[in-house]
Structure 1
């Protein structure tokens, strides 16, 4: 695989729906060259297939979790306001049962999620918590 093959793969990773003409223009080669290289890369198995990325795949918050919170006394509304002001918190739910609140959290990395959880645990009124990472979401 030479530099042109690598550049073609990079271009396809950026836009898998790019036309042969667009690829040829961007790579400064002919359409015939792009077509031949693309066939060679597919035949050799270097390109195994094409796929679709959905909005969820390119989410700014690929690390997501649910944090259940126990709140002391009458501090629930104050904690809810503080949580709602945090950009990492996507939603805050009041609930019944063991937990007083559930916070949906989204961050770009696990380190940022850990930092967010640490800040929430230190809030006045938060007495205990439990966090579960969301591994996948299925609809339907």
Structure 2
């Protein structure tokens, strides 16, 4: 990935609906080159999709938190698959350090949030966990 690809990704993060002409002008290349770069970035998996954020999405989850998980053995892939099936889980991240996975959770109520925590803790192979509620988002990217 070169500087033009990074600049293109930055522009798309800011406005994924920007026209090829706008992006071409920003990068100083042709529309065809922009299209080819986007296609290449998608084919390589650097761009995995495009999305729309609506006002309701930012207020969708009244209760949000991060759950850090310690995994025993080599069951991380199986646990990630299991976590992916829980609708209140917004994202699962692998990490380094003390924790093996960081799970983003969003629910409407504290009771629902607690139910999700309990369900995750019951997954075979989850050995330890720590959870932090997110109180306020100072900056949203994307």
TM score, norm. by length of structure 1: 0.59
For 1:84 and 1:56, the matched residues in 2 are separated by 23
Q: State the Cα deviation string for residues 9-50 of structure 1 (Å, max 9, x = none).
A: xxxxxxxxxxxxxxxxxxxxxxxxxxxxxxxxxxxxxxxxxx
- 1:74 corresponds in structure 2 to 74
Where in structure 2 are the equivalents of 1:62-101 lying within 5 Å?
62-101=62-101
Secondary structure (helix, strand or coil) at the match of 1:119 reads: helix
Listed as ranges, the gaps of 5+ residues in structure 2 are 1-53
- 1:123 corresponds in structure 2 to 123
Over 3 Å counting, the alpha-carbon distance change for 1:58 and 1:104 in structure 2 is closer
Where in structure 2 are the equivalents of 1:47-58 lying within 5 Å?
55=55
Aligned positions, number: 87
For 1:109 and 1:56, the matched residues in 2 are separated by 17
The CA deviation at 1:56 is 5.8
Secondary structure (helix, strand or coil) at the match of 2:74 reads: coil
Secondary structure (helix, strand or coil) at the match of 1:137 reads: coil
